[in-house]
Structure 1
Amino acid sequence: MTEDFGLLDPDEADAFGDEWESIDVDDTEADQIVRRQDLAFDEFRKRIKDTEQFKVEGDVFDDATLAAIYKLVQDGYVEAFGGPISTGKEANVYEALGDDREVAIKVYRITTSNFRQMRDYLEGDPRFEGIGNDKKEVVLAWTRKEFANLKRARRAGVRVPEPIAVERNVLVMELVGLVEERARRLAEVHVENPQTAYEVVREYMRRLYSAGLVHGDLSEYNLIIHDGELVVIDMGQAVTVHHPNAGEFLERDCRNVATFFTRQGLDVTGEELLAFVTEPEPEPSEDPEAGPSEESGSGEST
């Protein structure tokens, strides 16, 4: 692997520790659609459920999820639904055609998602204060959380899939790599230039932290390679620095990343990486053409 791993330029990011806008987990228009059960939605549901590839996935495509996809189609975010890219206990990812490009659709499962683990990451996040114990609300909050985390990360100059739209438990985002040319996880490739790759990963970790985020599950399995770029994925569990377990999660991320790159031959430690990630931004240097400040005196000896 000979990619150069170019870094993105960050946008004007919010300051460290800024308060977060609360995220609404009330019913969406998709819930209203499924309650209304109009003729157009009924025809859409029948067409999708008659598709061979979805017949065995009734636990994923319940009526409310189909209503969410229907709403995304109405809004122009999805034009055609494709086949599965990956399947998991918490979510399935499908390819789809957006308005002018291929996109990925991530569908979180309401019935089989790990409710308790999700709550561990949501509790303590100021964006989700007062979240109830209702499993549906937790999964919907998780979906909106991933969408918000992706937006925050991109503003900070971290290469993540571009978030496009969210509706209920369905997230539309950039498809990184075509299905037939799948982007590879860092764990799946031979890293020919581990020093450069490590420097990019640690810079992305520092940018996330400076933007008030900790990934929470970062490893070689949540970093992919595409077109010479390292891309951070799976941002659903990322927490704010205000989270009571943020420090523990960050230390674990640093250990995981350092362990991987140690296996690639680098002399790095989790402790060194943690110090780099959390190091404050340097103060601007004084203008070399300016005279001495009042605090420094005239420089003459007495």
Structure 2
Amino acid sequence: MSGDYGLTEETEGAPGDEFEEIDVRDTEADRIAREQDREFAEFRKRLKDTEQFKLDDGAFDDATYAAIYKLVQDGHLGAMGGPISTGKEANVYEALDGEGGDVATKVYRINASNFKQMRDYLEGDPRFEGLRGDKKAVVLSWTRKEFSNLQRAKTAGVRVPEPLAVQRNVLVMELIGREGDAASKLSDVTVENPQMAYEVVREYVRRLYDAGLVHGDLSEYNVVVYEGELVVIDVGQAVTVHHPSSADLLERDCRNVANFFARQGADADPDDLLTYVREHANPRSEEDTEAGERDGMAPDDEA
């Protein structure tokens, strides 16, 4: 048999000749990316192995570790310390910034148990129109909202922790106190001059309202005392005066504040406080509020 199957010796145009050879050698960018991945993996392992984070039951997922890592790279964080407070929505930790100064780091849980209540505070806020309803979107927006509220309160002359940086669900701010010496809540101290303290907090409520904000949960549990100074904390739920619940929230703030100081012996009345705030404040227009707040909002980083 000849074995002639119609094949020739011609090889030109053989299969695969039309494809260019792919260069699979490492580039400098590849090496840098691998080194960054290795450094992040080591960073995450160190944090996960730290006792205070081992005990946590949900504040730290991989994306949260990545957010903390980014804050470290940007110089906002240098080291994480022990917890100052723990809650259903967030934990607050002592920390050091990139230069060794004391700061506080607030980490919100993506699976926050009260995220539906958080969403109620966000809905109706002009800064968060079109917000998605899933937990991740709500918690990330809430974190940015607290950062923005702190900025606005500080600008208005209200003593709050200074906001320093925000990344995803992690907020870095001024530590009220020093490492190992956190500020005490107003509810836990003896108020030596309740009338003076009341007038300070009354002015805080007025200044917030004048700046277009209502704290929404102001009481002796959300004011801390350090070295004779009263500092308002936990402003994440604060809403603009245009929020549909702002009037009710303002009344509740006035009632809580006045009743507490009245029990301490101050001349304080909820209706008088509410009248004082409304008569001595001139909140921003809705247009100014929307523009100012949107300009001050941090980027929505969902990475």
TM range (shorter): 0.7 to 0.9
Q: Distance in 1 between matches of 2:266 and 2:54?
A: 48
Q: For residues 99-114 of structure 1, what are the structure 2 equivalents within 5 Å? A: 99-100=98-99, 101-114=101-114
Q: Which moved more, 1:104-113 or 1:72-81?
A: 104-113
Q: Distance in 2 between matches of 1:209 and 1:281?
A: 6
Whether contact under 8 Å (1:90, 1:114) holds in the other structure is yes
Q: Distance in 2 between matches of 1:274 and 1:86?
A: 31
Deviations 1:183-214 (A, max 9, x none): 11111111111110011000110000000000
Aligned-pair CA distance for 1:60? 1.4
Q: Does 1:43 align with 2:39?
A: no
Aligned-pair CA distance for 1:179? 4.1
Q: Which moved more, 1:106-115 or 1:242-251?
A: 106-115
SS of residue in 1 equivalent to 2:92:
strand
Deviations 1:136-157 (A, max 9, x none): 0000000000000000000000
Aligned-pair CA distance for 1:162? 0.3
Report the structure number with the largest CA radius of gyration: 2
Q: Distance in 2 between matches of 1:160 and 1:281?
A: 19
Q: Distance in 2 between matches of 1:264 and 1:253?
A: 17
Q: Which moved more, 1:227-236 or 1:172-181?
A: 172-181
SS of residue in 1 equivalent to 2:258:
helix
Aligned-pair CA distance for 1:181? 2.1
Whether contact under 8 Å (1:223, 1:230) holds in the other structure is yes
Deviations 1:198-252 (A, max 9, x none): 1100011000000000000000111111122110000000000010000000000
Whether contact under 8 Å (1:113, 1:139) holds in the other structure is no
Residue 87 of structure 1 corresponds to 86
Which runs of structure 1 show a deviation greater than 3 angstroms over 4 or more consecutive aligned residues? none
Q: For residues 1-302 of structure 1, what are the structure 2 equivalents within 5 Å? A: 38-57=37-56, 59-100=58-99, 101-280=101-280
Q: Distance in 2 between matches of 1:196 and 1:39?
A: 55
Q: Distance in 1 between matches of 2:52 and 2:128?
A: 35
Q: Distance in 2 between matches of 1:136 and 1:114?
A: 13
Deviations 1:159-190 (A, max 9, x none): 00000000000000000012422211111111
5+ residue gaps, structure 1: 1-36, 283-302
SS of residue in 2 equivalent to 1:131:
coil
- 2:38 alignment partner AA: L
5+ residue gaps, structure 2: 1-35, 283-303
Whether contact under 8 Å (1:91, 1:113) holds in the other structure is no
Whether contact under 8 Å (2:255, 2:270) holds in the other structure is yes
Aligned-pair CA distance for 1:64? 0.4
Whether contact under 8 Å (1:183, 1:224) holds in the other structure is yes
SS of residue in 1 equivalent to 2:180:
helix
Determine which structure has greater relative contact order: mean sequence separation of CA pairs < 8 Å that are 6+ residues apart, divided by chain length.
1
Deviations 1:89-137 (A, max 9, x none): 1100111111331100000011133111101110100000110111100
The total of aligned residue pairs comes to 246
Deviations 1:270-291 (A, max 9, x none): 1100011111459xxxxxxxxx
Q: Distance in 2 between matches of 1:40 and 1:185?
A: 39
Cα distance change on mapping 1:55 and 1:211 into 2, 3 Å: same
TM-score by length of 2: 0.79
SS of residue in 2 equivalent to 1:199:
helix
